């Protein structure tokens, strides 16, 4: 009896071991089939992080808008507070949503001078992330992109023969110039365009609070596809991992999803009062893509965001999370609670823990 039980147990262990090896051996490829080899390696590595027992969630922070506030200050503050630097460091090429004086040329809202810092960050063991708060091509002044546009104006932006369409093309061309610099240096990028589309505050998103607009959703998908094909097919930017990130506090999180052929990572921009009740995790992970908290912060902005509590929530409720990224100074780990515990937890990967010599750390640890 004991011998039979021992054989059964051995067979079970062998089956579990074989399954684990098969999971680890499975290759996850980027949406872009022409992705650079390093970008492919990074995509596969990111997708396997949830299979680890530790070293499985990347820390991240936003460094600012290039033409407004970008610097290494946030990374340095976190390093001083925790002894660690964030694994992912973000830059926004466009602060077009901010109040500014009159700007006559929409391309002046794009600035990619943060590239030199991002290249250095990659070479020293970090991963760059780039987002875009694009100015509104339907406007004649480009100091703010939060103004709503009609669906007919949206259609004009998609039409390359219109003034609005030409403005969009000019913006995309300048953004691509910046991304191309990173490509030429062999730097893969977590690229997050058109985020929080299910909210009502950006021109590319909904216009009313939690009011579904099927035409608007279709226009958004067309715009996302247009940007993807411009960057990938026209400009050959094969260093991008495309990130889709709706807002956690609005509905229709997957209605805008542009399709698995256009997305590498799905995530939530989550500003919460209770980190155990963030909405959308099951909905987003059902898309069968690596999942991240692409922005996190507290709704109160009172210095009481507890990052150790957030990590406990990730472990218990959102275990497929591969990275998080904190947004602006009010949400910084350096001025909130539990930062050192979070950054030094066995689950957390920081800058310098991603690379082993000239290659990524092993998929299975």
Give the pLDDT of residue 5: 37
Residue, of 241 and 19, whose pLDDT is higher: 241
Judge residue 7's burial from the number of C-beta atoms within 10 Å of its C-beta, 0-12 exposed, 13-18 middle, 19 or more buried: exposed
Confidence band for 234, pLDDT divided at 50, 70 and 90: very high
**Mean pLDDT calculated for residue range 283-299:** 94
Q: Which residue has the tokens 């006559």?
A: 104
For the chain, domain boundaries: 39-358
Q: Percentage of the chain with pLDDT > 70?
A: 87
**Mean pLDDT calculated for residue range 258-286:** 96
Provide the whole-model pTM. 0.91
Please write down the long-range contacts of 209-217, taking CB distance under 8 Å and 24 or more positions apart.
209/250, 210/250, 210/251, 210/252, 212/251, 212/252, 212/255, 213/151, 215/151, 216/151, 216/154, 217/252, 217/255, 217/256
> What are the residue numbers of the active site?
196, 295
Enter the CATH code of domain 39-358. 3.20.20.80
Integer-rounded Cα radius of gyration of the chain: 21
pLDDT, the chain, mean: 88
Q: In this predicted model, what pLDDT tens digit does every residue of 114-168 receive, in sequence order?
A: 999 999 999 999 999 999 999 899 986 655 555 689 999 999 999 999 999 999 9
Of 19-23, 202-206, 297-301, minimum mean pLDDT range:
19-23
Confidence band for 363, pLDDT divided at 50, 70 and 90: confident
- Residue 193 near residue 224 (C-beta atoms within 8 A): yes
Residue, of 115 and 338, whose pLDDT is higher: 115
Q: 95 - beta bridge partners?
A: 133
How far apart CA 195 and CA 246 sit, in angstroms, is 6
Q: Helix-strand-coil percent breakdown of the chain, rounded to 5?
A: 40, 20, 45
**Best CA proximity match to 288, nearest among 310, 259, 268:** 259
């Amino acid at each position: 009896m004991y011998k039979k039980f021992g054989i059964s147990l051995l067979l079970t262990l062998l089956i579990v071991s074989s399954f684990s090896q098969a999971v680890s051996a499975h290759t996850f490829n980027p949406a872009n089939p022409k992705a650079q080899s390093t970008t492919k390696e990074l995509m596969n590595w990111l997708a396997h992080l949830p299979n680890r027992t530790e070293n499985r969630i990347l820390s991240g922070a936003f460094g600012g808008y290039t033409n407004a506030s970008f610097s290494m200050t946030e990374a340095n503050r976190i390093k001083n507070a925790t002894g660690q630097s964030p694994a992912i460091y973000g830059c926004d090429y466009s602060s077009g949503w901010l109040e500014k004086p009159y700007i006559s040329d929409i391309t002046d809202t794009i600035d990619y001078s943060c590239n030199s810092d991002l290249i250095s960050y990659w070479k020293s063991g970090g991963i760059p992330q780039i987002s875009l708060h694009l100015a509104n091509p339907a406007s004649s002044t480009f100091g703010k992109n939060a103004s709503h546009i009609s669906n007919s104006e949206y259609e004009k932006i998609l039409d390359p023969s219109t003034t609005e369409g030409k403005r969009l093309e000019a913006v995309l061309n300048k953004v691509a110039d910046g991304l191309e610099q990173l490509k030429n240096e062999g730097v893969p990028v977590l690229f997050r365009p058109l985020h929080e589309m299910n909210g009502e505050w950006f021109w590319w998103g909904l216009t009313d609070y939690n009011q579904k607009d099927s035409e608007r959703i279709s226009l958004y998908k067309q715009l996302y596809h247009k940007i993807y094909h411009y960057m990938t097919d026209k400009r050959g930017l094969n260093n991008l991992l495309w990130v889709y990130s709706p807002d956690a506090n609005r509905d229709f999180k997957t209605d805008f999803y542009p399709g698995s052929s256009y997305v590498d990572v799905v995530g939530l921009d989550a500003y919460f009062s209770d980190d155990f009740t963030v909405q959308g995790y099951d909905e987003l992970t059902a898309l069968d893509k690596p999942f991240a908290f692409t922005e996190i912060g507290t709704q109160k902005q009172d210095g009481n965001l507890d990052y150790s509590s957030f990590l406990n929530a990730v472990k218990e409720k959102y275990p497929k999370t591969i990275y998080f990224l904190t947004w602006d100074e009010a949400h910084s780990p350096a001025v909130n609670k539990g930062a050192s515990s979070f950054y030094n937890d066995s689950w957390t990967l920081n800058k310098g823990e991603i690379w082993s010599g000239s290659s990524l750390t092993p998929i299975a640890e």
